[in-house]
Structure 1
């Protein structure tokens, strides 16, 4: 039933391909650490008292959540003393939270996000895991636009379209809020007519509004900086317009050479290649990055952005794509290296291809076990696939090597395959079982915080080893018997035709008598058990009649 066996094997591979879309995918997965951060933003103009009052409300809500041990609050700070030393602190409130080590960290963070969202008058709240940067699971969308108004509208449209979407949690943007400020726009023609430049007018206004450093003095071995301040700084918009600017023709009012008015603008501006940019950060509500990516892509496809604006998906999705591409190339290189080594070992180009049939069947168990356990496919899982290539091919090599030894001693391909498979069944099963049981603790996730890497790797290896071992012991001998048996039968037909030609030629030359067994036949059966010679005797019995 060789062809039936191969047909069933093809159906198994087809089912594996059909089951692949049901797998979850991620990048690195959650680290499981019992710390995370909550940030609260009341706006850039919030006072310290208002931030303190809002922080007390959030702090009380956090303490009341089961599973949270400690909450450390930093107001007017970024939460990092080193960062604050260089940046001078930051606006907003930061909560550093330590949780119970036995709690489900992902579920606890989702609960915190849900309960804090229900609070009123607390500003914008964002929950972030402890592993940011390279291990972050956030999807980032870069929005570009030619001007500030278009950028603000495009960013708001992107945030609105993503909020409430399936598989998407919180949505935030880094677009700075607009604050009021006084803009002084110099009329270049009017200033040039009075012998002034735009830079000179700007420096005069700046020196008037804030003290300027004019040098240092040494007092008691200490260097002190000396500042020069105007005797009377403008206290209102009208006072600034009436500011006297000295010129060659005499002092003139500032509003004669410049426009002074109150306007609004962002506290910071980010540009890329001459265009203003903002970043929208999307935190998935599930561990399936494929579902979150599909939701983001669908939302952006249905969004009608303003003219000149563009939105591009990045973040963990681009990191995952790059990592999967590189590991895919590594898998192909590993298969090629294994093939080259086997060609050198077996001195054949055909048999190593038969051995590599065990590699696709490793994917069957790996995919099915990941679907059954709900563990996503990530970088750690692909590293496990790399390990599988060497493990499953080893079992195939052990089997085929023994079959080749039997064939060298005169057995047919069919008999050698049956004998070799029977002899190698127990060692292959013992080797696979030992590896599976050794990886079981890792697959159960009892290895501590490193389980986010070790568990997917172990699950892939265990699943792939089970399927490849079972299918290799069935499919590989069948395929070997079909291919090598056909090759052997063709060789026997050619040798039979050649022998017939030789016998015809010998008869035509008058050569008679029985041919002696060839040395090739003797060497073919060397090492195999010899049959016991049949002992024959002949006895003649004669009967004598009477008389």
Structure 2
């Protein structure tokens, strides 16, 4: 059972499957090899090491045997009580499961936990009318403001672009990014989240600049985890709804650096030529447009090549400042005399949008935000939707959906749900073959809901969000927690073959297998403790898996000692 649960994990096709596929194959192979060793090497070594008697038991061993004997005797007594009151045990377990599932609403959904990688990304967006030199100068000023951060080791500056996602402006002369590098968290006295908050306080009063301070994501680079898309047919209405959504997002606790792709337009000069005058002057309209483009943007005159690289050669007039240069452009008239553009055209200045996004043939606006204070991505998205609905929702013809990390999170959830169902089905078929019964596997699988109860309790107590690593632990538990039930039922079947009554066989078999159940459960739980309590590099990723596995193993081990015998007594009343 420990091997088959990794088969569906290795077959997942999403981005999460690409991460966990090698892990599943490795663990399955290691488990198969360990099973082979337990059948071959372990008995051989035991026959060599245990040739002689172990001798007298010392004081510590005697105390342990006495204490364990008392616990085992108490368990035998409670099993006899369970034999008489098995309906009460089953109803109590069902009520416990319902209560635990109701508490599961307090476990919020996330994609990956926020990890301390020793880096902070500071993204700066200045006025769109600002040139590259001014952006570089102001970025250096911001850099000087951050030099006194505790433990700062390195800093990298990128001017003209930063790592963004589709829909978030990520390239332009008015953009820059500062990457701050700190020592590993094991060599720091202050957490990276506290450093991030310090940076936000330092840059809170920065004028003429939008600041975003975030930690690099484990999957997705430096993108903001919350990305919401509003789509519709009318661009002006979409931008209006997007600006309103930004205000609603600022009301959600735990969201920071709220922004959108809606920007104040850049100034644009539109030239409207008089076609009649152009005809009288002998200037073709196409020639006028080509000359205007050549004067401002330049005309490609050739290609310069060096090795395997090439550059376009453009010819244009000397650059001048001011919009008056457009009206002053001179063109050759019908008699060779220069004619200024102002004589046969008029100008109109308006604001032009920096970018226009489309998706599925509809105009879209996007809202972005970082998370802080341990806010779960799923919880933040639900609260933002609640704020939108509270203020009237979307008008007809306009819709909202979440992209980015949230979209990956939903894909991962669907994949793990499918993997969990396949794991349960494969485990059931394997149990049918092992136990030679269609009924007994249902009794064994009753340990799986008990593991879910333990997972929920563990996450609630540790205040850990549900994420892809926790879901991986849940699928793994399907193959682990059934082992205790298999031991009890297999021993009961042996006693039945020896002539014992089914109910007596389970009462005796549960006590006979009490020691190996306790030993294997404690060994598995102790093996998960370093993962659950570790504080080293990358511990944020391992902690959720360790806590969920620890809770599921312990709760399932304790309750299966009574639930499995009670279910047996229910199905074997004679």
Matching residue within 208, 216, 220 for 1:134: 220
Aligned twin of 2:549 = 461
Shift of 1:106: 2.5
Matching residue within 425, 439, 443 for 2:532: 443
Superposition pairs of residues 98-497 of structure 1, within 5 angstroms: 98-100=181-183, 101=185, 102=188, 103-117=190-204, 119-121=205-207, 123-131=209-217, 133-134=219-220, 138-146=225-233, 148-185=235-272, 199-215=286-302, 228-229=315-316, 236-237=323-324, 240=327, 243-244=330-331, 254=341, 259-287=346-374, 288-303=376-391, 310-446=399-535, 448-483=536-571, 485-486=572-573, 489=574
Task: Tell me, in whole angstroms, the C-alpha distance in 1 between the residues paired with 2:103 and 2:321.
Answer: 73
Shift of 1:424: 0.2
For the structure 1 residues 189 and 148, does the alpha-carbon distance in structure 2 shift closer, same or farther, using more than 3 Å as the test?
A: farther
For the structure 1 residues 464 and 174, does the alpha-carbon distance in structure 2 shift closer, same or farther, using more than 3 Å as the test?
A: same
Could you report, residue by residue, the CA deviation over 1:424-445 in whole angstroms, capped at 9, with x for unpaired residues? 0000110010111111111002
Could you report, residue by residue, the CA deviation over 1:2-58 in whole angstroms, capped at 9, with x for unpaired residues? 111112111211111121011133111112211121012221223567546644553
Task: Tell me, in whole angstroms, the C-alpha distance in 1 between the residues paired with 2:239 and 2:172.
Answer: 26
Shift of 1:153: 2.5
Task: Tell me, in whole angstroms, the C-alpha distance in 1 between the residues paired with 2:533 and 2:113.
Answer: 16
Work out which structure has the larger RCO, using CA pairs closer than 8 Å and 6 or more positions apart in sequence.
Answer: 2
| Gap runs ≥5 in structure 1 | 81-86, 490-547
Q: Does 1:46 align with 2:130?
A: yes
Shift of 1:202: 2.2
Could you report, residue by residue, the CA deviation over 1:383-404 in whole angstroms, capped at 9, with x for unpaired residues? 1011111111112111101101
Task: Tell me, in whole angstroms, the C-alpha distance in 2 between the residues paired with 1:273 and 1:185.
Answer: 33
- Which piece of structure 1 moves more, 344-353 or 306-315? 306-315
Shift of 1:91: 2.7
Task: Tell me, in whole angstroms, the C-alpha distance in 2 between the residues paired with 1:377 and 1:224.
Answer: 51
Task: Tell me, in whole angstroms, the C-alpha distance in 2 between the residues paired with 1:474 and 1:390.
Answer: 20
Task: Tell me, in whole angstroms, the C-alpha distance in 1 between the residues paired with 2:476 and 2:135.
Answer: 53
Task: Tell me, in whole angstroms, the C-alpha distance in 1 between the residues paired with 2:481 and 2:304.
Answer: 78
For the structure 1 residues 212 and 292, does the alpha-carbon distance in structure 2 shift closer, same or farther, using more than 3 Å as the test?
A: same
- Which piece of structure 1 moves more, 294-303 or 271-280? 271-280
Aligned twin of 2:121 = 37
What secondary structure sits across from 1:166 in the alignment? coil
For the structure 1 residues 316 and 7, does the alpha-carbon distance in structure 2 shift closer, same or farther, using more than 3 Å as the test?
A: same
For the structure 1 residues 199 and 326, does the alpha-carbon distance in structure 2 shift closer, same or farther, using more than 3 Å as the test?
A: farther
Could you report, residue by residue, the CA deviation over 1:234-284 in whole angstroms, capped at 9, with x for unpaired residues? 975486277547579999875687542222212333333444333211112
Task: Tell me, in whole angstroms, the C-alpha distance in 1 between the residues paired with 2:220 and 2:322.
Answer: 49
Contact residue 380 and residue 453 of structure 1 kept, 8 A: yes
Contact residue 183 and residue 261 of structure 1 kept, 8 A: yes
Task: Tell me, in whole angstroms, the C-alpha distance in 2 between the residues paired with 1:322 and 1:224.
Answer: 43
| Gap runs ≥5 in structure 2 | 1-84, 164-169
Shift of 1:60: 4.4
For the structure 1 residues 279 and 98, does the alpha-carbon distance in structure 2 shift closer, same or farther, using more than 3 Å as the test?
A: same
Larger Rg: 1
TM-score (norm 2): 0.73
What secondary structure sits across from 1:27 in the alignment? coil
Task: Tell me, in whole angstroms, the C-alpha distance in 1 between the residues paired with 2:230 and 2:366.
Answer: 6
Task: Tell me, in whole angstroms, the C-alpha distance in 2 between the residues paired with 1:151 and 1:278.
Answer: 6
Contact residue 59 and residue 71 of structure 1 kept, 8 A: no
Contact residue 123 and residue 162 of structure 2 kept, 8 A: no
Aligned twin of 2:14 = none
TM-score (norm 1): 0.77
Task: Tell me, in whole angstroms, the C-alpha distance in 2 between the residues paired with 1:34 and 1:411.
Answer: 64
What secondary structure sits across from 2:229 in the alignment? strand
Shift of 1:350: 0.7
For the structure 1 residues 476 and 171, does the alpha-carbon distance in structure 2 shift closer, same or farther, using more than 3 Å as the test?
A: same
What secondary structure sits across from 2:562 in the alignment? helix
What secondary structure sits across from 2:174 in the alignment? coil
What secondary structure sits across from 1:449 in the alignment? coil
How many equivalent residue pairs? 473
Could you report, residue by residue, the CA deviation over 1:432-465 in whole angstroms, capped at 9, with x for unpaired residues? 101111111110023x333222211111111001
For the structure 1 residues 252 and 216, does the alpha-carbon distance in structure 2 shift closer, same or farther, using more than 3 Å as the test?
A: same
For the structure 1 residues 247 and 291, does the alpha-carbon distance in structure 2 shift closer, same or farther, using more than 3 Å as the test?
A: farther
Could you report, residue by residue, the CA deviation over 1:474-503 in whole angstroms, capped at 9, with x for unpaired residues? 1101111220x23xx3xxxxxxxxxxxxxx
For the structure 1 residues 229 and 54, does the alpha-carbon distance in structure 2 shift closer, same or farther, using more than 3 Å as the test?
A: closer
Aligned twin of 2:95 = 11
Task: Tell me, in whole angstroms, the C-alpha distance in 2 between the residues paired with 1:371 and 1:146.
Answer: 44
